[in-house]
Structures are given as structure tokens and as C-alpha cells.
Amino acid sequence: MVSIVVFGALSVARAEEQRFTFERGLMGTRFAITTHGTDEATAKKAAEAAFAKAEEINAVASDYIADSEVLSLSKAPAGKATVVSSLLFDILTKARRAAEITEGRFDPTIGPLTKLWRETRRRSQLPDADTLSKARAACDWQALKLDPETRGVILEKPGMRIDLGGIAKGYAADAMFAILHDRGFPRTCVAAGGDLRLGDPPPGQKGWKVGIRSLEKGKLSDEIPLSNCGVSTSGDLQQFVEIGGVRYSHIIDPSTGLGMTRHLAVTIVAWDTTISDSFDNAACLAGPDRAEALAKSWGAARVIVTVPPLSPSPAPADR
């Protein structure tokens, strides 16, 4: 995933206010909290509570943890209602809503295809047509039924498998930020891999300076000041596999069942990170020509599409 780099400045901070940074490995990536306050012990305590919340979300929503609640749900018989925790139900509700808004470009039932992609990446071999067809048939966000009165969840099709990887980190970043904000730390940035939840700007600044990486590794394409929003970037810079001369991204296209083959990245700025996280992959799938307009129609506040620079045309031959 294309990552985002955050720079917080202290140049005009009030003397009594300090910058504190806390980090932890979570959800297969690096989570970092940058916050401003007057007491390090209080900030550390708030950060620990925020990390604990992210751990709780991971234990519920991860499909890498054998006994996670979401994997247990995926093992339930097709058509049978399963009562889930309020936390998982809330994530599923937001995920299904995102699927509806994006017309299935974001799909929380894409688990069977995610499982195939991991095997494809490990073996550097595409699945056969029959295997791919069966996995695609088991993916259908409209077959995910939710009952808010009972917190009942029904997976209507056999073989369905929930994958919340496209929304869980953003959801966790929002939950972490809420804890820090409620404990008196509104000047906070929560970084969850390629997802950011930004609060009030650092002291004396107009916003958090968000550096957006280009498609060239190690380089930035832009730097923008942002605050009180969610920011997510996705693309094929880091997670991909090349098979038969074709580059397949980790971003799975539900319409083909295979990884995206376009070379691009999309940054979404939205009201919160749950939204931006669920929109960035979907916008990538829309393609460079439609990503911005579509994402804005979904509710994104700002969309930045990064594509490879055009190769220079060859010089005309001398005559």
C-alpha cells in the first residue's frame, strides 16, 4: 500500500505544550500517535488506552487471527443468523454501507478472493478458472444481511468469508482518536499504516503537513496541510506480484476476481478515516479518469490521483 508521511511542526508552539509520540505494531503495520499536551504521563496513559482499543478491534475484525470473531462468523452455516458483538456489528454496518455507496467496488465479503490472492502471491501463479469462478460466486455484499434489533448477521451464500481489511485500520484510527480527544488531546494525529486520523492542527500551524508519496519509491508527489479529517492512500507501490509480465496489485477487483493491473495511487480525504479507508481501494478500481469524480460523488472531500509520468516521445529521426 502507498503510505503517507506526516510532519508535525513545533516552531511556534507554546512553551508549556510539548509533542509526544507513541508507536506500536498493530494489524500487520505500524501505528503511531503524535499528540500535543502539557503532561507526558497523562498523554502516555491516553495513548495506552487508544492502543488497547485498537487491539480489541483487531481481535474482533482480523482474518489473520484464528479465533477472531469475524472468522467465526465466516464459518457459520449459510442462511443462519449469528448474533455478534456490538463492536463487530458496528464495523459490518459501516462496511456494508460503504459497499452500497461504492456499488460493490468496496466489498466486505471479498474474503474468498483475498484468500486466493495470498496464495497467488506466495506461489506466483494465478488460480485456475474453476477455482476463481467458485471464489467469485461466494462474494456478494448484498448477500450480507444485518439485523440492527438483534445484532444478527446472515451470510446468505455458501462459502462466504468476511474480509474487513479495507476498513478496519481506518475504523481503529477513528476509535483511537476519539479516546485521545475525549481525554483532552484534540491536537492529535493517529497514523495506521497508510491511514491517518487528524485532529486540530499542531500549535501555531494551519494543519498537519501530510506528505503524499509518489509512485516512485521514497519520493513525495505533494505536501498538503490538513486537519480534523481522515486521510487514506492506496495503490500498487508495495504490495503486488508479477506473473507472466503482468503486475497484479493487492487491490482485488471484484469484477474479475484478480488484482488490479493499473499502476496508480489514490488519496482520499474524508470526514473520518473509516470512510477514507473504505473509499481508497474502490477509487483505485474506478481508474485514473473516473476516480476523482466518483469518490467525490461518494462523499470524499478531496481526491488526489497519482499516475506514472508520461514517457517522453522519441525524438524524430534525422533526414
Is residue 277 marked as binding?
yes
Strand residues in the chain grouped as ranges (E): 4-7, 18-26, 29-37, 82-83, 144-147, 152-155, 188-192, 195-198, 208-213, 220-226, 229-235, 240-243, 246-249, 265-270, 302-306
Asked if residues 2 and 265 have their Cβ atoms less than 8 Å apart, the reply is: yes
> Which residues, at least 6 apart from 155, have a Cβ–Cβ distance to it below 8 Å?
73, 74, 76, 78, 79, 109, 143, 144, 145, 162
Spatial distance between the Cα atoms of 209 and 63, rounded to a whole number of angstroms: 33
From the number of C-beta atoms within 10 Å of its C-beta (0-12, 13-18, 19+), residue 300 rates as buried
> Which residues, at least 6 apart from 109, have a Cβ–Cβ distance to it below 8 Å?
138, 139, 140, 141, 143, 144, 155, 160, 161, 162, 163
Spatial distance between the Cα atoms of 195 and 279, rounded to a whole number of angstroms: 11
40-61 and 168-182 are packed helices; what angle lies between their axes, rounded to 10 degrees?
A: 150
Is residue 253 marked as binding?
no
The DSSP code for 4 is E
- Order across the sheet with 82-83: list the strands: 82-83, 152-155, 144-147
> Which residues, at least 6 apart from 277, have a Cβ–Cβ distance to it below 8 Å?
166, 167, 168, 169, 170, 171, 173, 195, 230, 232
Closest by CA position to 291, among listed 275, 307, 277: 307
**Maximum distance among all alpha carbons in the chain?**
79
Binding-site residue set: 166, 277
Binding-site residue set for Mg(2+): 166, 277
